[in-house]
Structure 1
């Protein structure tokens, strides 16, 4: 796969540059109430904190009102704004972020690169309202952000007609947009997007991130340029979330001069992104603009077309309303006004009482029947999920194998353990789901993982796969205690590891405190775990997402590899894997990105990047860096080639006494990062090498005895170290960096 586009025709790329300093401006007159600030631009309403010009908006929300060819429209930077919603906290914009690849037998392949950069702005791409769209025949395309890669494959089968309004893999496919994305770039995989597609009547392939509701697939998009023509000026609508950035509500309220929720009837809502921020809403019973003084006005519920009091008398109150009845009527417990009945005589009372008792009995019977029916539906639905995920097979196998350590949990048990999956219990979020801290009735702390999605194939095989995972027993692998199968997407229950992740330890502003011996021990523990998963388990398991944030640490800094079930829940055979490409930037195996096939050597490559993190205390991918320094692996390979390893090593471990060990670890990491998987060592070889180095660290006297040093480290020929950096390695990663730089 060629990520570089130095030979491509770069046309229509986006430069979205908004101010990056978000300190709320204050003047004698608040910005939202200054005279002369227009409330509309063309047909678009401009509510504060947005405004036309810097004097009418909060920093970061300035718009320009421009007239082009007789049409007046608001622009954020150079992007057209078509709608702003205060209630939803969204802004819809038209972006020319369509990437295309078109082949002409006379002129060759031409590319148009579309990208969007919202870094240092109050905007991010809504994962709810948008989708990744890929159009074309035999096309594999994907979007790359600073932290995520995701895409899909679109194919056209011979003799099978395409269908309008169906985007599910035939001529068109789509993928979910990850959360908290501010930057993306579109790419094509040329192993799929070959020049033969023009013979199939499909000369062009496209990828775009756009609003779900605005896209309807047409078969004409595949064999012509109609897709471009459909969206005027080659622009697609995209929905962006926005917020007041800089601090959460608690801290923002302390600074009254800059606090944005100025209406007396407004409420502050914390941001759900990884960056501090907040939005303002009008309190319940009020509507309007919470960013303006007195902007939230009472809603007069009594003026609505349908009287909320029915036949009664409605009286409006601040933020609410009250109901009363007309004279001669009284209000029942359910708020209905009924006439006051005259007291019947003794002879009249008997049939009335009998009828009332009968009615009450009838209501109770009907209510009980409905309740029983609803419970039966819920029970049947849970049973259907249980069977669909292979729960029956799993239960029988557990009985036959006497697998007492693994438990099938009920949904109610896990809800109680996690306080109904409260946000306060969240301890981690990832590409496959959210992890909650929980406490079982037995006072055992657990980590409960709610997976986001699971494909149909793995719904059928899930029970069998859980049985395989339940048999994993290794001191450096987080133990899988059980699962819950009576929900639409199964939940996994792991042992709880208390001391956070390796990523937090390295990059949490205290990495300098970690000794080389501790780092080497963590690396050895992790390698032992992966070696066990690859070759020691009853059924070989590929991790698929090896990274420092998936390595947990206990109180003694002993490492435990987690999330090893993620690969089980993701496609694992070739026919499925080519339809989905995803992973974490900086850790992705270049060979996997070329072949779309995950192997044990893909885990070896990712582990090599973890070794680099331990050696350098640098993050695997840095979008703010320049050139090859964006990629830690590229920077390392270049340093090794130029014999300047000491330049990138962490100062906390650089020591003359340690240099021989550090060079050995660096050579091992270099070997793990070979472009070809065949040239990489197995995880078993990596673990053995780290074990020998660890023993040397515990026996420093050996360093003065070269013969014993060699006996501990092993023969130099035991592991072949490549001294030449693959040109193909630089051709792939360097071009990826070049394209990311184009967004500066």
Structure 2
């Protein structure tokens, strides 16, 4: 027994020492975080920053598909940043509601800026923060097998940061998860700034006390579970993930400059002597030679880049006959793109005023950099504007694509946009005659694009903010970035209709087929804006009146146009004004027909607006005044025709092609115009 004890102790010690490497390896595997998602073939790969990863050792674990794509459950991730995770939820009728739980993890959950769309619900839908017209517009084309199924919308009505999963399941007795819509300010009193369809925004957090880098700010949060949480962001001038356990924060530029070497922060004090000696010996030779070579190389590079840019533009646009400006010239003309020179900001860029090699003001549009599609839109706009010539189309005077910038130079319109004047953002408002003239000139420009150009050009973004006014309030149509040639679209089915909400053709959303009648519908909305002075989409109006097109067709169809006419027009000031307002309203009503075959062509629209505008000079005498009537507008002063507002019926509108037609051969032909049955 006494002799066996040392042997037993020796075996025990050997076993313990042999166990230590296994324990270390096991703990290492538990704490290791794989932040790279590669395909099963090992090609490619997506790498995420701290605290995200794809293994159990990661603070926030995401899934990695076989194709090398990051997912949350079965839903693919579009991107991950310091504020949230954007997940794509394709619309699907028979997806179980249980799958919504995949969006709720230990460290992430959908924010209150989302609206969850559900299907096949047994309870009536509660009010949703997103107007029903927008939900119907984006999801009306979804055909589910159950004909009685309805789309229900759920959003947080309380001031919560995240969606309550349990409340979602209780309040909505629904069977299926259809999709989701995300907005920047869904749960506030303001209207949503922008909507993202078929996506959901997930907010993420780390629980516990702040563990941020010294050069990072800590944003304290409260998780949906009620526990203390936080996120870190590097302060200005630093970059990185911001966490102590991650890469922390580092200066955006290299610290190892000459000052860093001299101070000993880079490389230590042993390198000071070598650095100073090298500078003294080589300074006189390298500085002069370097400056000379730098100037020569920059001039050569600039010359080559300008030739290459011009050649690429020429290849893309055919015979290029517009000047190309350098970025420095454009920057100088706008005083460094100063806000004092800013004319306005749109979805694709900002427009500035400036002077380039002349005393005339120019409009300089700086495209906001997005992706390769933005370059295609710039080249597309240059190509289309360079091939058209019409007094009511804005002229392109030059461009610049230096240093990765995309800049277009147009003629300057001193009176801004029609939208600014209609909505009282500029000036004291427009008289009815100016509004009618602007409408007629705009219609002529669009009709020119549809009929005089072969193949025709479809603008795709007709709206009041794209109608510019010169010093004489003559209109010019601008922004051809979304335009397409008709021959390209005849056989093409678009999967992503583009344009501005409130102006989009509803049938374009249904069958994704673009035609000239899509521009007609958008122009119909502009006509209603001209008559009412209201915005195309305004969330401050009652829910059933948010969409101006729907509001106008309802009032015009009921014969209640007077309820929405802009008081500044003063329609009852004389008979011609009242008659012409009603005639333009009837024309807008036809342009806004749901079925595109019921809409007039832009050529017909332009002709009718031009007739209406010219009729003012024809009907100046008292004997020839004309009032709106449901039957006949007579020139006799003894006429007893009623002056009630136009009341249109669907049967009448479906059976006639033209209304209130006038003779153009004499100034007294206004006496004869008939409403066809």
TM-score (norm 1): 0.50
Q: Which has the higher strand share?
A: 1
Who is 2:623 aligned against?
A: 704
The separation in 2 between residues aligned to 1:521 and 1:421, in whole angstroms, is 34
Report the alpha carbon displacement of residue 673 of structure 1 after superposing the two structures with TM.
0.7
Q: Deviations over 1:286-329 (max 9, x none)?
A: xxxxxxxxxxxxxxxxxx99997655599xxxxxxxxxxx9xxx
What is the distance in 1 between the residues matched to 2:296 and 2:155?
Answer: 54
How big is each residue's C-alpha offset from its partner over 1:39-59, in whole Å with a ceiling of 9 and x where there is no partner?
Answer: xxxxxxxxxxxxxxxxxxxxx
Aligned partners of 1:570 and 1:538: how far apart in 2? 9
1:110-162 C-alpha deviation (Å, 9 max, x unpaired):
8563557899x99xxxxxxxxxxxxxxxx998767899xxxxxxxxxxxxxxx
Seen in structure 2, the aligned counterparts of structure 1 residues 550 and 359 have a Cα distance that, compared at 3 Å, is closer
Q: Match of 2:620, SS?
A: helix
2:415 is the counterpart of 1:491: no
Residue 555 of structure 2 is aligned to residue 555 of structure 1 = no
Unaligned runs of 5+ in 2: 1-103, 121-143, 162-177, 207-222, 239-254, 636-646, 654-677
- How far has the Cα of 1:618 moved from its partner? 1.4
- What residue number does 2:200 align with? 208
Listed as ranges, the matches of 1:15-164 within 5 Å are 94-95=111-112, 97=114, 99=116, 113=153
Counterpart of 2:319 in structure 1 is: 397
Give the Cα separation in 1 of the matches to 2:331 and 2:428.
Answer: 40
Counterparts of residues 26-425 of structure 1 (less than 5 Å): 94-95=111-112, 97=114, 99=116, 113=153, 182=192, 207-210=199-202, 312=263, 360-366=284-290, 368-369=292-293, 385-387=309-311, 389-392=312-315, 394=317, 397-398=319-320, 403=321, 406-425=322-341
Distance 1:626 1:426 in 2: 34
CA contact (8 A) 2:536 2:548 kept: yes
Check whether the contact 1:616–1:648 (CA below 8 A) recurs between aligned residues. Answer: yes
Q: Which runs of 5+ in 1 are unaligned?
A: 1-79, 84-91, 123-138, 148-179, 188-205, 215-230, 242-280, 286-303, 315-325, 327-335, 342-351, 713-720, 728-744
CA drift of 1:689 comes to 0.8
CA distance 1:454–1:212, shift in 2 (3 Å)? farther
1:582–1:723 distance in 2 versus 1, CA, 3 Å: same
Q: Residue 667 of structure 1 corresponds to which residue in structure 2? A: 586
2:538 to 604, 622, 630: 622
- Kindly provide the CA deviation profile for residues 226-263 of structure 1, in whole angstroms up to 9, marking residues without a partner as x: xxxxx999xxx999x9xxxxxxxxxxxxxxxxxxxxxx
Q: CA RMSD in A?
A: 5.6
Give SS of 1:546's match.
coil
- The CA distance in 1 between the partners of 2:150 and 2:259, in whole Å, is 62
User: Contact between 1:591 and 1:676, CA under 8 Å: does it hold in 2?
Assistant: yes
- Pick closer, same or farther for the CA change 1:639–1:424 going to 2, 3 Å: same
Q: Distance in 2 between matches of 1:670 and 1:102?
A: 34
Distance (whole Å) between structure 1 residues aligned to residue 417 and residue 596 of structure 2: 27
Per the alignment, residue 640 of structure 1 pairs with 556
Residue 18 of structure 1 aligns with which residue?
Answer: none
Pairing partner for 1:482 from 379, 398, 405: 398
Confirm or deny: 8 A CA contact 2:502 2:549 kept in the other structure: yes
User: Matches of 2:119 and 2:544 in 1, distance apart?
Assistant: 29
1:544 to 460, 469, 493: 460
1:499-536 superposed Cα distances (whole Å, 9 cap, x missing partner): 11111111116887532212211111111111122222
Partner SS, residue 434 of structure 2: helix
8 Å Cα contact 1:468-1:538 kept in structure 2: no
What residue in structure 1 maps to residue 55 of structure 2? none
- Whether 2:466 is the aligned partner of 1:426: answer no
1:525 match: 441
8 Å contact from structure 1 (residues 604, 682) kept in 2: yes
Most deviating of 579-588 and 619-628: 579-588
Secondary structure of the structure 2 residue equivalent to 1:113? strand
CA deviation profile, 1:656-675 (whole Å, cap 9, x unmatched): 52322221111111011111
How many Å apart are 1:425 and its aligned residue? Answer: 2.1
Tell me whether 1:723 sits opposite 2:649 in the alignment: yes
Q: What is the CA–CA distance in structure 2 between the aligned matches of 1:141 and 1:381, rounded to whole Å?
A: 45
Identify which of 508, 526, 530 aligns with 2:424.
508
What displacement does 1:495 show? 0.4
Matched with 2:606 is: 687
Deviations 1:8-39 (A, max 9, x none): xxxxxxxxxxxxxxxxxxxxxxxxxxxxxxxx
Alpha-carbon distance between aligned partners in 2 of 1:457 and 1:282, rounded to the nearest angstrom: 32
Give the structure 2 partner of residue 126 of structure 1: none
Distance 2:152 2:259 in 1: 56
Say which one has the larger Rg.
2
The answer (yes or no) to whether the contact 2:497–2:508 under 8 Å persists in 1 is no
Number of matched pairs: 456
CA 1:425–1:570: 2 relative to 1, 3 Å:
farther
Would you say the 8 A contact 1:101–1:112 is kept in 2? yes
Q: Is the 8 A contact 2:264 2:272 kept in 1?
A: no
2:451 alignment partner, SS class: helix
The residue that corresponds to 1:654 in the other structure is: 571
Q: Which structure is higher in RCO with an 8 Å CA cutoff and minimum separation 6?
A: 1
Q: Secondary structure at the match of 2:389?
A: coil
Distance 1:142 1:578 in 2: 21
* Separation in structure 2 between the aligned mates of residue 212 and residue 410 of structure 1, nearest angstrom: 44
The one of 417, 442, 451 aligned to 1:535: 451
CA distance in 1, matches of 2:345, 2:486: 17
